[in-house]
Amino acid sequence: MSRRSDRISDLLREEISKIISNQLKDPRINGLVSITQVDVSPDLRLARAYVSIFGNSSEKKLALEGLTSSSGFLRRQLGSTLGFRRIPEIQFILDDSMEHGNNLLTIIDNLRPENFGKPDLDQ
């Protein structure tokens, strides 16, 4: 990505996060929702917002539906906040990377030295 795209992606991530936490009143979005990354297309018409949602699978699905249905509101708010000529369409994508990382850490923590044989030092 170009430097301009990177700056726009970072700015969109910050502003979308602020709007979700401060202005969005959708009851489906009731848990901890964080925007982990935003990728914009080269023509700046589409923004893919990767979302990490804390909760079970049904809560995640509801929150993702709520975010998708509120994308028009988010675009209007971004239009009034940012001075862009064109505000990109926002597509929300569930990001499970934090959960996968936590699962790996749990697996690593559960590994015990007594589960492994002692190395043979005579060789």
Tokens at residue 113, please?
């030295």
Domain layout of the chain by residue ranges: 3-112
* Residue 67 pLDDT: 94
Q: Which CATH superfamily is domain 3-112 in?
A: K homology (KH) domain (3.30.300.20)
Average pLDDT over residues 70-82: 93
pTM of the model: 0.79
**Cβ neighbours around 46 below 10 Å, total:** 13
Average pLDDT over residues 54-74: 91
> Measuring CA to CA, how many Å separate 84 from each of 17, 49, 75?
18, 18, 11
DSSP β-bridge partners for residue 92: 49
Alpha-carbon distance of 122 to 9, in angstroms, equals 57
Closest CA to 39 of 13, 65, 72: 13
- Dihedral of CA atoms 12, 86, 40, 102 in degrees, nearest 10, equals 30
Average pLDDT over residues 88-108: 87
* Residue 103 pLDDT: 81
Residue 71 near residue 89, CB atoms below 8 Å: yes
Alpha-carbon distance of 83 to 11, in angstroms, equals 12
* Residue 1 pLDDT: 60
* Residue 107 pLDDT: 85
* Residue 32 pLDDT: 85
